[in-house]
């Protein structure tokens, strides 16, 4: 059976190979995902802003150039004067309600954090000289990636709109664990 890119050929059986595989995973998995998310959010923000601005300008130009005769004789002009501002309002509303600019910034912070961890991991990998060094670096990177992911999740959820009556608002607090209970 042929191996594919997503199917590992073997499971690493020593700390050096395991760390090297994890560094590659950090790059191909985490970094590339953040890079793509940053680009998508940036593009969405730019498109929404352009649609909002162009629709406002188009409406003003159309209104300025049209006279009473145009409004009376051309129904499509009246419809355009209604539809174009609605499109701009819709684009602005999407930008505001999805908080796409904030999400773009959040994902860029994640991308930068993963980039720094990969760079640091590669430097430390090159300087390591024992199995214990590789294990320590690997454990550090796993914990650091967990912190980045937790920070991203924590930063993302406040960006979501609050919906009255949603399960998150109605959730009961979890009981705290106490020793001897």
What integer pLDDT is reported at residue 180 of this predicted model? 44
The reported pTM is 0.70
Cα 46 off chain centre by? 15
What integer pLDDT is reported at residue 30 of this predicted model? 93
End-to-end CA distance of the chain: 54
Mean pLDDT, residues 84-102 taken together: 89
What integer pLDDT is reported at residue 178 of this predicted model? 43
Six-digit token string for 151: 């920070």
Buried b (16+ CB within 10 A) or exposed e, 110-137: bbebbbebbeebeebbeebeeeebbeeb
CB 26 within 8 A of CB 113: no
Residue 70 in this model has a pLDDT that exceeds 90: no
Mean pLDDT, residues 127-132 taken together: 94
In terms of C-beta density within 10 A (0-12 exposed, 13-18 middle, 19 or more buried), how is residue 79 classed? exposed
Residue 7 in this model has a pLDDT that exceeds 70: no
Res. 8 pLDDT band, cuts 50 70 90: low
In terms of C-beta density within 10 A (0-12 exposed, 13-18 middle, 19 or more buried), how is residue 146 classed? exposed
Six-digit token string for 143: 């914990």
pLDDT per position as a tens digit, 169-179: 444 444 444 44
Res. 165 pLDDT band, cuts 50 70 90: low
């Amino acid at each position: 059976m042929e191996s594919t890119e997503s199917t590992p050929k073997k499971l690493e059986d020593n700390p050096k190979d395991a760390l090297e595989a994890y560094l590659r995973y950090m790059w191909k998995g985490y970094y590339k995902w953040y890079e793509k998310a940053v680009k998508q959010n940036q593009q969405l923000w730019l498109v929404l802003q352009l649609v909002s601005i162009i629709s406002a300008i188009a409406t003003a130009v159309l209104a300025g150039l049209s006279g009473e005769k145009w409004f009376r004789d051309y129904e499509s002009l009246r419809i355009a004067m209604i539809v174009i501002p609605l499109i701009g309002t819709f684009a602005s509303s999407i930008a505001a309600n999805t908080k796409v600019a904030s999400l773009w910034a959040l994902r860029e912070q994640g991308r930068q954090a993963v980039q720094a961890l990969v760079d640091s991991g590669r430097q430390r990998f090159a300087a390591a000289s024992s199995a214990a060094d590789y294990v320590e670096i690997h454990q550090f990177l796993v914990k650091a990636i967990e912190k980045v992911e937790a920070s991203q999740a924590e930063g993302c959820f406040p960006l979501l709109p609050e919906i009255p009556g949603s399960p998150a608002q109605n959730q009961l607090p979890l009981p705290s664990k106490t020793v001897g209970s």
